[in-house]
């Protein structure tokens, strides 16, 4: 049973993908997410679009049109300096959050 995406985590995952893989198009990002999650995520490829426009409007990525190796046109997203900063902050926040939740879950009553 695939798990739904936790609210607000998609932005972080996309930023992280772009930071590690360099400029990517929407298809590349979506495929990467599915691959990493080993199909555990309930993710239509189309459902990353709102997140893409959101982070672009925040100024965390910049989009530009380019060509793939197979000479197909595609819109490539590049993470910006502000994007790296946001990624750092979001990562921190996620870790803290996850740690708190984990601690609560493992703590003896």
Partner 1 sequence: MAHWRRIVAKLRSLLANKRAEDDLAREIASHLTLLADEFERGGMSPEEAQLAARRAFGGVEQAKQAHRDERSPLWVEQAIQDLRYGLRTLCKSPGFTITALLTLALGIGACTAIFSLVNAVLIRSLPYGDPGRLVYLYTPNRQFKLPDEVFGPAYRDFYDLKRDSHSFQNMTAFGQSVFSLASPGAAERASVARVDGEFFRTFQSTPELGREISSDDNQLGHENVAVISHALWQSMFGSTADILHRSLLLDGKNYQIVGVMPQGFEYPHSTDLAYGESQYKTTQVWVPLALTPQQTVDRDNSSANAVARLNPGVSIARAQAEMATIMARLDKLHQMKGWGGLVENFVDSTIGQVRSLLWLLLGAVSIVLMIASGNAANLLLARAAGRVRELGVRVALGAGRSRIVRQLITEALLIGLAAGTIGVAFAYLFLRVLPRLNPGNIPRLNEASLDMRVLLFTIAVSLLTSALTGVFPALAVSRINLTDFLASAGSRSVAGAHTRVQSALIVVESALVVVLLASAGLLIRSYMNVESVDTGFSQSTVTVNIGLDPRYGHPQAVGFFRNLFLRLQALPGVETVGAVSSLPLSNSEDLRMFVVDGYPNQNTQLAEVRWMTPNYFSAMRIPLIAGRLFTADEKPGAHTIIINQSFARKYFAGRNPIGGRVSRQDDPTRWNTVVGVVGDVRHTSLEEPAEPQIYEPDMEFEGGYITIRSSLPAKSLAANVRAILHSLDPNLAAGDIQTMGDLESEASARRRFQTSLLSVFAAIALFLALVGLYGLMAYTVSRRTNEVGIRMALGAQRSDVVLLVVKKAAFLLALGLVSGLVATWFVTRAIQAFLFGIGRHDPTTILSVCGLLAVSGVIAAMIPARRAAFIDPMQALRAE
Q: What residue ranges bind partner 1 (CB under 8 A)?
A: 25-28, 30-31, 44-47, 49-54, 56-60, 68, 70, 72-75, 82, 86
Distance CA 24, CA 30 (A): 10
Nearer to partner 1, 16 or 60 (CB): 60
Quick one: tokens of 9?
């985590």
Q: Is the dihedral of CA 83, 84, 85, 91 positive or negative?
A: positive
Nearer to partner 1, 14 or 51 (CB): 51
Q: Give me the least distance between CB of 13 and partner 1, in Å please.
A: 16
Q: Give me the least distance between CB of 4 and partner 1, in Å please.
A: 14
CA dist 28 → 1, 48, 105 (Å): 24, 11, 35
Nearer to partner 1, 75 or 102 (CB): 75
Check residue 47 and report its DSSP letter. G
Q: Give me the least distance between CB of 104 and partner 1, in Å please.
A: 30
């Amino acid at each position: 049973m695939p798990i739904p995406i936790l609210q607000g985590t998609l932005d972080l995952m996309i930023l992280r993908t772009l930071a590690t893989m360099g400029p990517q198009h929407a298809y590349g990002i979506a495929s990467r997410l599915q691959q990493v999650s080993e199909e555990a995520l309930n993710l239509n490829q189309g459902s990353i679009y709102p997140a893409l426009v959101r982070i672009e409007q925040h100024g965390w990525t910049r989009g530009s049109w380019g060509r793939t190796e197979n000479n197909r046109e595609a819109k490539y997203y590049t993470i910006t300096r502000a994007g790296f900063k946001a990624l750092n902050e979001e990562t921190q926040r996620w870790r803290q959050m996850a740690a708190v939740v984990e601690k609560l879950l493992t703590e003896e009553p």
